[in-house]
Chains A and B, each alone.
Chain A
Amino acid sequence: MSDHEYQPSSRLGKWFNDRLPLLTLSNHLQEYPTPKNLNYWWTFGGILTFCLITQIITGIILGMHYIAHADLAFESVEHIMRDVNYGWLIRYVHANGASMFFLAVYIHIFRSLYYGSYKSPREVIWIIGMIIYFLMMATAFMGYVLPWGQMSFWGATVITNLFSAIPFIGESVTNWLWGGYSVDNPTLTRFFSLHYLLPFLILGLVILHIWALHVPGNNNPIGIDIKKPSKDTVPFHPYIVIKDLFALLLFLIVFAFFVFYSPNILGHADNYIEADPLVTPAHIVPEWYLLPFYAILRSVPDKLLGVIAMFASIFVLVILPWLDTSKVRSAIFRPIYKQFYWFLVADVLILGYMGAMPAEGAYLIIARVATAYYFLHFLVILPVLGKKEKTLDIPLSITEPVLGGFPNQAATKNKQNNRENL
């Protein structure tokens, strides 16, 4: 991947590197040529890595004190909060860390949507990212069940019942998921086991995500192919490392605000009541980061079709690289797409709000319109827009608009292609 063959300076380093080229990898990560115009929206990759590591570390620690048993789980969480040294801090970091993780991943995904980072040649990066996102939702859901409060129990009941919508085998599948005829101790212990496993799968996929990124290199705000290394790039270390660290610091201020000043604002008070299989809470909603999907689920009147719509809303994202037919990546040069992009952002926010409201009256109507628009955006607007839209002129290189042009073969070729396509 590096343009030159790396040689360690010390003899020991060379001996080791010949046997396991870790130093070559480390050198690649430092020198990795990065577009010099990356803005702060590009710092969320590093922030997400931090979030994952934080969740794994705090999670392993909570696992030392938590007891995965229907009779003891709720009490063991209170034990963590009251008795364990700094247990309250570690649990609040883990619980709010999940929200922070999703906040960062949504910004990361919407950055990709704006700047067209999912397009060729980065489709595999995008698909791996979508798998990570899906596993994150599964992990977060199962983690929320572990404290065995009322919301844990009824959230688990509602989500696992989604599978009962499958024709013919639905009931057997849900019984298989539960290990019984309702959510109970066998469900809790398997969720704990999987909640511990999945983050490590995510970590493996993150490594693949970064590996796949390092093959074509980063996209950038103007979305052009750049020559690497060139005047358009800077080495990853120290330039991007310092920028990422600074952004992480700002992100940590928000994180710390939630942990120290409003640790329960993103949760539900009902989850401080121990699980009771005989009483469902009056108003049951998932965690905020799942609300748009919950709104899509509820806006379809048929049980099976609702479940299909919900999973389809994630699946359209997976095939997005082939739904968006435009050859121009960045929304900066796509004036019409830029508007539809913000419509989509608003649509998802509306869906999220509707997911938190009761499914009745005007809320339900708005949720249905928003659901229809969501699919319209991906299945109709993007394929048509890519063919019809009149895009703006793309600069030859990152430096060209400022300094008046450095010959850049790849960018020139790209530009010609684009003009031919229009």
Chain B
Amino acid sequence: MSESDKKKPNRRDFILTATTAAGAVGVGAAVWPLIDQMNPDASVKALASTEVDISGVEPGQSITVLWRGKPVFIKRRTQEEIDSARSVDLKDLKHPEKDEDRAKNPEWLVMLGVCTHLGCVPLTDKGDYNAWFCPCHGSHYDTSGRIRKGPAPTNMEVPKYVFLNSKTIKIG
């Protein structure tokens, strides 16, 4: 260390460092478009939200819609299902989340129908909790879409959505 510390950088060292640094910035700036082109493009982003008509969904029924290429479950829950989801002790959950946080309007549960284990689509009204069951590796979800048993690490994801009116939900 002391050997190299003694050697003062001369003008050549300065020019070399400055040139290399400017070159690295230039190459980086040139390479970024080549990488960014693989990100979702404007035509994909334009399809980032979906409006769904829910007027025909009866209590207990569930519909599946496609949003950003993935299924979204929209479930109109019965009072029993809501009660069973809200009566669970958070200590019993692998990924503790209150049902009140997952379904602002308790009658409607909106979530991505994608198992958080490896991305399969769970079956509806199946499994130990008579809610969702993933056939790929046996993950059981409850009536709030929370993971209760099996290899999935987290609850099924709740996307951003708003009720535009009593008949329409906008997802995304």
Contacts and interface: CB of A to CB of B under 8 A. Distances in A.
Chain A partners chain B: yes
Interface of A: 57-58, 61, 64-65, 79, 82-87, 89-90
B46 to A, nearest CB: 8
B92 to A, nearest CB: 45
Contacts of B44: 83
A84 B42 CA distance: 6
Which 5 pairs of residues, A with B, have the shortest CB-CB distance? Answer: A86-B33, A83-B42, A83-B43, A83-B41, A85-B36
A65 B42 CA distance: 13
Interface of B: 33-34, 36-39, 41-44
B37 A90 contact: yes
B34 A85 contact: no
Contacts of B39: 85
B43 A85 contact: no
B34 A61 contact: yes
Contacts of B33: 85-86, 89-90
Contacts of B43: 79, 83
A84 B34 contact: no
Contacts of B38: 64
Main secondary structure of the interface of B (DSSP, over half): helix
A57 B37 CA distance: 12
7 contacts: A61-B37, A64-B38, A79-B41, A84-B41, A85-B33, A85-B36, A86-B36
A79 B34 CA distance: 16
Most buried by B among A64, A84, A90: A84
A83 B38 CA distance: 12
A57 B42 contact: no
Contacts of A87: 37, 41
B81 to A, nearest CB: 42
B44 to A, nearest CB: 8
A86 B37 contact: yes
Nearest to A84: B41
A238 B84 CA distance: 75
B34 A90 contact: yes
Contacts of B34: 57-58, 61, 86, 90
Most buried by A among B33, B36, B42: B33
B23 to A, nearest CB: 9
Contact of B42 (A58, A82, A90): A82
Contacts of A57: 34
Given A84-B37, A86-B36, 19 more contacts: A57-B34, A58-B34, A64-B37, A64-B38, A79-B41, A82-B42, A83-B41, A83-B43, A83-B44, A84-B42, A85-B36, A85-B37, A85-B41, A86-B34, A87-B37, A87-B41, A90-B33, A90-B34, A90-B37
A239 to B, nearest CB: 15
Contacts of A82: 42
Most buried by A among B37, B42, B44: B37
A85 B41 CA distance: 6
A64 to B, nearest CB: 7
Most buried by A among B36, B39, B41, B42: B41
A132 to B, nearest CB: 25
A178 to B, nearest CB: 32
Nearest to A88: B33
A90 B33 CA distance: 8
Contacts of A65: 37, 41
Contacts of A83: 41-44
A82 B34 CA distance: 16
Contacts of A85: 33, 36-37, 39, 41-42
Most buried by B among A58, A61, A86, A87: A86
Contacts of A64: 37-38
A160 to B, nearest CB: 32
A83 B42 CA distance: 5
Nearest to B39: A85
Contacts of A79: 41, 43
